[in-house]
Structure 1
Amino acid sequence: MRIAGEGHHGLLFIRSAACRAPALERVYERGGCMGVVMLYENGEIRYELATAGEVPEGRATRIIESPGLAVAYIQPGHATERLCRELTEQHRPVIGYGGWVQNWDGDPYRSDKPAEGLGFAHAWWEFADSGAFPEGVICCPVERAGAHVWMIHRNEATEQLIEEMTVVSKRIIGDGLWLQSWDKDR
């Protein structure tokens, strides 16, 4: 890790040498958060079916973070085990190789807060019919600079989960809690 420099309001950004500058510059432009912010580029996102108490009653999902890790706990009945496995597997190369970096501020429950509308990127989840996927595929990210959408097979998740993940994505991605760290369309 190395010190990247001071930003607005006395912010201190710490990142590894491989973390790409555009993501950091976008944090500077928006004023970032108060305090020390660490950018974790070789992180992990996991999707797991929840056990008792991991998701508040009435909700389909809750994301809990720690440095370099986000776990999306999904209430049983709102997603299939297969969808959880495939979402985890499909996130691995993108997150694990620095395509997205975690802008960590120390709050494991920060995705529970409403989106502030900072506009770092646009993100959402939506249903797609089986004809939209290659054979045997049930989910697929579609991504370009400034936008990210997860296409989910209609039989693998509930409408409530899709709606909640869209709301959470507006917070996590739209407010820069996780930052795109590349400049080209994929």
Structure 2
Amino acid sequence: MSYEVTEARYRVAAAGDRIPDGRVVAVVDEPGVATVIVRPGHASELLLRDIADQQASMLATGQWLRLEPGTEPGPGQDRVTEACWQIAPAGTLPEGIVCLPVEKRGRHVWLIREGEASEQLIREMSELLTAMVRAGVWVQKWTEALDAQEA
């Protein structure tokens, strides 16, 4: 069985949030909602707001599906085999762009403008995303999305 994540939230940690010692990010994953909680000083508010806004539109299109562990992808669904965050050096992203998703079949990379996130956050988010895709829980619905665009 699978379910769609309909909302991704990103925010700075507040009192009472639990982030493991030595880490700067934690993900609270519940059916329908994934919340990314970041220690203060490791991401700009603008980045957290922008990435959440961009993911909202990505999730609304239905191109991403979260599978329960052990579930196989259905027809028209491709497993994501590579996912990460990467720092985009100054001047490589257009003016005003804080983060940019770069995606192709089986691969998803978030380019993050230099200075908007700490290197530790970039590293930890990449580790978390890699663990998720290696567990086989995310698929892209490329065929269905392309079919809908052509209709």
Q: Which of residues 109, 121, 143 is equivalent to 2:81?
A: 121
Q: Which of residues 39, 47, 50 is equivalent to 1:83?
A: 47
Structure 1 residues 75-154: aligned runs within 5 Å: 75-104=39-68, 120-154=80-114
- 4+ aligned runs moved over 4 Å, structure 1: none
Report how many aligned residue pairs link the two structures.
134
In structure 1, the residue matched to 2:10 is: 47
Separation of aligned partners in 1, 2:26 and 2:5 = 22
Separation of aligned partners in 1, 2:36 and 2:140 = 19
Question: How big is the alpha-carbon RMSD for the aligned residues of Structure 1 and Structure 2?
Answer: 1.7
Moved more, 165-174 or 143-152: 165-174
| SS class of match (2:41) | coil
Query: Offset of 1:174 from its aligned partner?
Result: 3.1
Q: CA-to-partner distance for each residue in 1:103-162, whole Å, 9 max, x for gaps?
A: 246xxxxxxxxxxxxx74111111002322121011001000000001001110100000
- Decide whether the 8 Å contact of 2:5 with 2:33 is kept in 1: no
Give the number of the structure whose alpha-carbon radius of gyration is greater.
Answer: 1
- Decide whether the 8 Å contact of 2:5 with 2:34 is kept in 1: no
- Decide whether the 8 Å contact of 2:43 with 2:118 is kept in 1: yes
**Are residue 158 (structure 1) and residue 121 (structure 2) matched?**
no
Query: Offset of 1:40 from its aligned partner?
Result: 2.2
- Decide whether the 8 Å contact of 1:122 with 1:147 is kept in 2: yes
- If asked which structure has higher relative contact order (CA below 8 Å, sep 6+), I would say 2
Query: Offset of 1:68 from its aligned partner?
Result: 1.1
Separation of aligned partners in 2, 1:42 and 1:49 = 21
In structure 2, the residue matched to 1:8 is: none
- Decide whether the 8 Å contact of 1:98 with 1:181 is kept in 2: yes
Quick one: which amino acid aligns to residue 33 of structure 2? L
Q: Which runs of 5+ in 2 are unaligned?
A: 70-78, 147-151
| SS class of match (2:103) | strand
Separation of aligned partners in 1, 2:13 and 2:58 = 24
- Decide whether the 8 Å contact of 1:124 with 1:149 is kept in 2: yes
Quick one: which amino acid aligns to residue 3 of structure 2? Y
| SS class of match (2:142) | coil
Q: Which runs of 5+ in 1 are unaligned?
A: 1-12, 14-38, 106-118
- Decide whether the 8 Å contact of 1:62 with 1:73 is kept in 2: yes
**Are residue 175 (structure 1) and residue 135 (structure 2) matched?**
yes
Separation of aligned partners in 1, 2:136 and 2:61 = 18
Query: Offset of 1:42 from its aligned partner?
Result: 5.5
